[in-house]
Amino acid sequence: MKYNRFGSVAAIAFVAGMLVQCGPAGQDCTPGEEGCECVLAECNGDLQCRSAICVDLTPGDTSGEPTSGTSNPTTDPTASTDPTASTDPTATTDATTDPTDPTDPTDPTDPTGETTNPTGATTIDPPVCGDGKVDPGEDCDDGNQVDGDACTNDCETGAAPEFVLIEHAPTMVLGGKDGPSFGEECSGALRGISGSEEPAAYILAVQGECTDVTLVADGQGGYAFEFEDGAALPSHGVGGATANSAICPAGQVVTGFQAYLDSIGVSGFQLLCSPLTVDPNTLAVKIGAAKEQALFGGMGTMDGGELACPAGHVATGILGFLYMADNSLIGLGLHCAKPVVQ
C-alpha cells in the first residue's frame, strides 16, 4: 500500500478503529498526529517525522524535538536540577564585604577612627592619650610618656615653666671712665642699642633696647621661646642730629660687643648677637654662636678689643661713662645674667 502526506495515515487509524496509547505521560495519541508516533516515517499534514515522533517544524520552532500542547514541563520525569546550585558552601554574592577593604565603613582598621554599626549610625572611637594626635577633650598629645614636659601623661598642658634671669653681674667697661656713670637693666634681655652719633667719628648718646622672653608651648609637646619688644632703657649722652641703632635679628639677644677707641674713649662698637633657644623636652637654655652686627659710631684710632658676657650668660642692660666736656659717650660696658627655665 502507498501512503501520502494528505490522508493515508488517517485512513489507517480509522481502519484500525482504535486509539494507540503513545502520547506523553500515557495520554491517548493518534499515530501521525503531532507528538505521536510516525506511521512508516510519515505524519499528517505538514508535520515531520523526527526520531519516530511527529513534530511541527514550521518557522519559529527550531528545537527539532517533539512537543505537546498538553505536556507539563514541570512534571517531566527526566527533568533534574543541579543539587549543588544552591548548596555550594563556597558560593559568594556581590553583597559579601571584604573585611580588609579600606572603604568598608565597618573595617576596624579605618584610619578615620569612625565605624558604622548595623543600624547605620556612625560612631567615633574614644580618644587615646599618647597616640600623638590631639583628639577632642585633649589639650595636647606629644606621643610620649614624659610627664615633665609641656604635655602631661593626661594630655593636659598644665602650668608652663617660666623664663628667668639669674646670677646678674656687670662686665668691665671699655674706654674712658673719667666722667658721670650710668647703668640700667631690662626686665628681660638686651636686644640692641640705639642712640645718636657723629657719623664715622664717635658716639653721642646711647640707650638700651629690651626684649621680653616668654616660654610657650610649641604644639608638639614641648616649649619654645617667644620674643616681644620691651620698653627701651633711658637714654644717656647728648642728643645729635644723626640717629643710629644696632639691633639683633629676631630671636637673638646681645652677648657682647667689639669696641673701637680713640684718644678719649669709645668711638664706636659692633654688637655681638646670639640666638637664644630652649630644648623642648629638657628645657635647657641654649645660647648660639655670636655674630657681629653693623658699626655704630666710628672706627677710632685703635681696636678696643671684644667684650663678652660670661659663658652661658646674655646681656640684660648697659653701663658706661660720659665725657665731662660735652656729655658724649666715652666708656661702655654690659650688664649680664644667666637665662634659665624653671
Q: Which domains does the chain have, with CATH numbers?
A: 1-68 (no CATH), 127-158 (no CATH), 163-341 (2.100.10.30)
The three cell numbers of residue 232 are 627701651
Output b/e per residue, 271-282; b: 16+ Cβ within 10 A.
bbbbbbebebee
Residue 189 CB neighbours (<10 A): 28
Q: What is the pLDDT of residue 128?
A: 87
- C-beta separation of 282 from 229 below 8 A: no
φ, ψ (nearest 5 deg) of residue 3: -115, 145
Q: What is the DSSP letter of 39?
A: B
The DSSP-derived string for 68-134 is -TT--GGG-TT----TTTTT-TT---TT---TT-TT-TT-TT-TT-EEE-TTS-EEEPPP-TTSSS-
CA 66 to chain centre: 74
Q: What is the pLDDT of residue 121?
A: 65
User: Backbone dihedral region of 78: left (phi > 0), alpha (psi from -120 to 50 degrees) or beta?
Assistant: alpha
Q: What is the pLDDT of residue 116?
A: 56
Q: What is the pLDDT of residue 87?
A: 47
Residue owning grid cell 610627664: 147
| Rounded distance between C-alpha atoms, residue 105 and residue 91, angstroms | 24
User: Backbone dihedral region of 294: left (phi > 0), alpha (psi from -120 to 50 degrees) or beta?
Assistant: beta
- C-beta separation of 195 from 268 below 8 A: no
Residue 254 CB neighbours (<10 A): 31
Q: What distance separates the 2 farthest-apart alpha carbons in the chain?
A: 165
| Rounded distance between C-alpha atoms, residue 105 and residue 89, angstroms | 26
Residue owning grid cell 599618647: 130
| Rounded distance between C-alpha atoms, residue 7 and residue 134, angstroms | 98
Strand intervals (E) in 172-201: 174-175, 181-185, 189-198
Residue 291 identity = K
Positions in the chain short of pLDDT 70: 1-28, 59-123, 148-150, 158-159, 221
The three cell numbers of residue 98 are 571584604
The DSSP-derived string for 287-337 is E---EEEEEEE---SEEEEEEEPPTT-EEEEEEEEE-TTT--EEEEEEEEE
Residue 277 identity = T
- Write the pLDDT tens digit of every residue in 9-26: 333 333 333 344 444 444
